[in-house]
Structure 1
Amino acid sequence: MNRIIVLVILIAMSAVCPVFGQNASADSSFREQAVRYAHTRYVYSTADQARLYNGAEYVGHLPSIKGYPYVDSLWRVGTVTYDGVTYENIRLLYDLVDDVVVVPHIDSVYRIQLQGIKISRFSIPNHTFVRIVRDTAHNVGLRTGFYDQLYDGRSKVLARRIKTINTELVQNAVKEEYLSVTYYYIGKNGLFYPVKSKRSVLNLFADQKKVLRKYLRENRIKFAKDREAAIVKLAQQYDEATRSL
């Protein structure tokens, strides 16, 4: 029950106290209206929660696999927009192997796998993921799935984070571990392009290549040291350099 409902109920309860000059029947009518309103809000609220927690059980992966399949090793409190409704303060896991968002069931110990097609975006600390549907006209090189929104200016920077399970036979024993890989994309003029190296980013921003090279040099930004941060900074600087164009 949210704060608004609690506040309305408290107001309704206070209405039963005798107040000089008030009509008793008016107090009773106000109290009944407030209680009905609170009940209606509660029904709508629980109905929305039921929509979020009405999914298939999430089974997960074998605990013997080294590492973890999620974007973060622990549950994080975040926000998810699901079936057109935004839910805040929700505990979330994002499985990078299966590309699914997981929430704990509201009244049980098992976990729920949300339907990806109903998620438009979700966020946890330091990450905001948006669901992109493949469109050959506008999302060049992008597959349908969740992308980490690293920068959202005139230019865009997205990261596609993926984990796979590597299996090896070592001394007649099977050993498995999670391997991580990240693909980066820059959005320019409504189209997305995959980028990997410093050269690929500078070639995409060819009209400001000299300016960007100077920016990297003067700010001692090492692309190989932190590729993700360098891509974001180059996109930001490109937008700054072309702001008046």
Structure 2
Amino acid sequence: MITTYRLLTTAGLFLTLSKGAFSQALNDSSYIAAASQNLTNFYLSQQRESSSIFNGRYYFDHISLHDNEHTFFGNGQFVQGSITSEGYSYNDLDVAYDIVRDELIVIGPDKKSKVIVNPKFVESFFVQGHTFINLKTDTESEEQIPSGYYDLLHKGPSVLLAKRQKKVHESVNQFDVKRNASVNDRYYLLRDSVFRQVKTKGDLVNLFGTNRSQIQQYIKTNKLNFKKEKERSILRVVGYFDSIKN
């Protein structure tokens, strides 16, 4: 956090105008607004650089994958995103999400270092058009899903989350070790205040209780294919259920 001394120093610099210039500035509302905004921007930049999101461990590319594969969510690149931490939203950050290790990485203020954001400081983050929430649960309970980052796919009367994951597979021959990553996403629907995993079409239908027949008819009418388009199909069904319950 920025110190009182630094704020007072900045304020002092702002006020070191000549008497004439200061008098003129008082009559110029646009000048006052601009100066005020500059002071605010300075404060926010100092607060951002000293934020706890940059105080994690350094990140190193830990797995060498074949065929241009990567361990990140999305396109495998650091892209602009935002992080909400301790009640503050930090925008225009260069971030990436490692879904093998479930780690959020940010480029540090030096524009070079890669830092793993300590999850205890993260409430949510936004990257590549997706909002991820940091779910902290009691993993000792069999009814709870594991703590971690979850993609918020749908938020309404129903809440649908996706756990983005990649699994690394190794094949060994006499010359080298080949590593490839496969997507292993999991889906959870909040029902009766508990997140239930949705593995199959049957799992999903059974979660809707007395509305099962309506859901089954909707799936049939819209020719939803849970094997080829699992995520899209689940989203369509959840959206439909919320529409008939409203």
TM-score range, shorter chain: 0.7 to 0.9
Deviation at 1:149, TM superposition (A): 0.6
SS at match of 2:185: strand
Q: How does 1:49-68 map to 2 (within 5 A)?
A: 49-51=49-51, 52-66=53-67, 67-68=69-70
Q: 1:172 to 1:88 in 2, by over 3 A?
A: same
Per the alignment, residue 238 of structure 1 pairs with: 241
CA deviations 1:110-151 (Å, max 9, x no partner) are 211111111110111231110101147999341110001111
- Which residue, 205, 209, 212 being the options, matches 1:206? 209
User: How far apart, in 1, do the equivalents of 2:22 and 2:81 lie?
Assistant: 46
Q: Which amino acid aligns with 2:77?
A: L
Q: TM-score, normalized by length of structure 1?
A: 0.80
Q: Does 1:71 align with 2:68?
A: no
Q: 1:139 to 1:240 in 2, by over 3 A?
A: farther
- Greater shift, 66-75 or 31-40, is seen at 31-40
User: How far apart, in 2, do the equivalents of 1:183 and 1:24 lie?
Assistant: 63
Per the alignment, residue 5 of structure 1 pairs with: none
User: How far apart, in 1, do the equivalents of 2:83 and 2:138 lie?
Assistant: 23
- Which residue, 19, 23, 35 being the options, matches 1:26? 23
* 8 Å contact kept, 2:169–2:179: yes
CA RMSD of aligned residues (A): 3.1
User: How far apart, in 1, do the equivalents of 2:174 and 2:139 lie?
Assistant: 47
CA deviations 1:189-243 (Å, max 9, x no partner) are 3221111100010001121111111111221211222111111111111112222
* 8 Å contact kept, 2:58–2:115: yes
Q: How many residues align?
A: 226
SS at match of 1:57: coil
Q: Does 1:106 align with 2:103?
A: no
Q: How does 1:158-237 map to 2 (within 5 A)?
A: 158-237=161-240
Q: TM-score, normalized by length of structure 2?
A: 0.80
- Which residue, 138, 145, 150 being the options, matches 2:148? 145
User: How far apart, in 2, do the equivalents of 1:29 and 1:242 lie?
Assistant: 58
* 8 Å contact kept, 1:139–1:192: no
Q: Does 1:155 align with 2:152?
A: no
* 8 Å contact kept, 2:139–2:147: no
